[in-house]
Copies of this chain bind each other. A is one copy, B any other.
Amino acid sequence: MCGIVAISGIDRAAEHAYLGLYALQHRGQEAAGISTVAADGQAHLHKAHGLVVEGFRDETLRQLPGDLALGHSRYSTAGGAGLVNTQPIVVRYHAGDLALVHNGNLTNAGTLRDELVRAGALFQTTVDTEVIVHLIARSRAGSADEQVLEALGQLTGAFSVLITVGRTLYAARDPWGFRPLIMGRKKNGYVFASESCALDLIGAHGRYSIAPGEVLKIEDGRLERLPALRGAEHAAPCIFELVYFARPDSRLWDVAVDRARRAFGRQLAREHPAPADCVFSVPDSSNSAALGYSEESGIPLELGLIRNHYVGRTFIHPTQHGRDLGVRIKYNAVREVIQGQSVIVTDDSLARGTTSAGLISLIREAGAREIHFRVASPPVTHPCYYGIDMPTKEELIGARLSVEQIRRHLKVDTLGYLSLAGMHAAVAEHGPFCDACFSGHYPSPLVDLKYGHLAGRDRADS
- A119-130 CB mask vs B (1 if < 8 Å, else 0) is 011111010000
A53 B314 Cβ-Cβ under 8 A: yes
Measured CB to CB, the closest approach of chain B to A143, in angstroms, equals 15
Say whether, besides A51-B312, A303-B287, A45 and B124 are in contact (CB < 8 Å).
no
Measured CB to CB, the closest approach of chain B to A129, in angstroms, equals 13
A134 is an interface residue with CB less than 8 A from chain B = yes
Interface size of A in residues (CB-CB distance below 8 Å): 84
A451 is an interface residue with CB less than 8 A from chain B = no
Cα separation A234 to B56 with both chains bound (whole Å): 52
Q: Give 13 A-B pairs besides A84-B84, A249-B334 with Cβ atoms closer than 8 angstroms.
A: A12-B319, A15-B319, A22-B308, A26-B309, A26-B310, A53-B316, A58-B316, A91-B122, A93-B117, A203-B322, A249-B306, A249-B333, A258-B334
Cα separation A424 to B330 with both chains bound (whole Å): 33
Question: What B residues does A334 contact at CB under 8 A?
Answer: 248-249, 256, 258
B121 A124 Cβ-Cβ under 8 A: no
A329 is an interface residue with CB less than 8 A from chain B = yes
Residue of B124, B203, B287, B315 touching A91 (CB-CB under 8 A)? B124
A295 B300 Cβ-Cβ under 8 A: yes
Cα separation A120 to B137 with both chains bound (whole Å): 5
Best-buried of A51, A121, A314 by chain B (most CB within 10 Å): A121
Copies in the complex: 4
Cα separation A123 to B124 with both chains bound (whole Å): 10
A427 is an interface residue with CB less than 8 A from chain B = no
Cα separation A94 to B116 with both chains bound (whole Å): 9
Cα separation A363 to B197 with both chains bound (whole Å): 14
Cα separation A278 to B309 with both chains bound (whole Å): 26
Question: What B residues does A11 contact at CB under 8 A?
Answer: 320
- A252-287 CB mask vs B (1 if < 8 Å, else 0) is 000010110000000000000000000000011001
Measured CB to CB, the closest approach of chain B to A50, in angstroms, equals 10
Say whether, besides A249-B334, A306-B249, A336-B259, A318 and B92 are in contact (CB < 8 Å).
no
Which of chain A's residues 89-129 have a Cβ closer than 8 Å to chain B? 90-94, 98, 117-118, 120-124, 126
Cα separation A117 to B322 with both chains bound (whole Å): 44
Question: What B residues does A23 contact at CB under 8 A?
Answer: 308, 332
Which of chain A's residues 332-386 have a Cβ closer than 8 Å to chain B? 332-337
Residue of B56, B137, B307, B316 touching A18 (CB-CB under 8 A)? B316
Best-buried of A18, A197, A316, A329 by chain B (most CB within 10 Å): A316
Question: What B residues does A329 contact at CB under 8 A?
Answer: 19, 22, 201
A56 B258 Cβ-Cβ under 8 A: no
Cα separation A321 to B98 with both chains bound (whole Å): 29
B124 A54 Cβ-Cβ under 8 A: no
A407 is an interface residue with CB less than 8 A from chain B = no
A437 is an interface residue with CB less than 8 A from chain B = no
Question: What B residues does A312 contact at CB under 8 A?
Answer: 51, 53-54
Closest to A57 in B: B316
Cα separation A19 to B307 with both chains bound (whole Å): 15
Cα separation A83 to B302 with both chains bound (whole Å): 41
List 5 contacting pairs A-B, 8 Å CB cutoff, sorted by A: A15-B321, A18-B316, A22-B310, A57-B316, A122-B133
Question: What B residues does A315 contact at CB under 8 A?
Answer: 22, 53
Question: What B residues does A314 contact at CB under 8 A?
Answer: 53-54, 57
A225 is an interface residue with CB less than 8 A from chain B = no
A291 is an interface residue with CB less than 8 A from chain B = yes
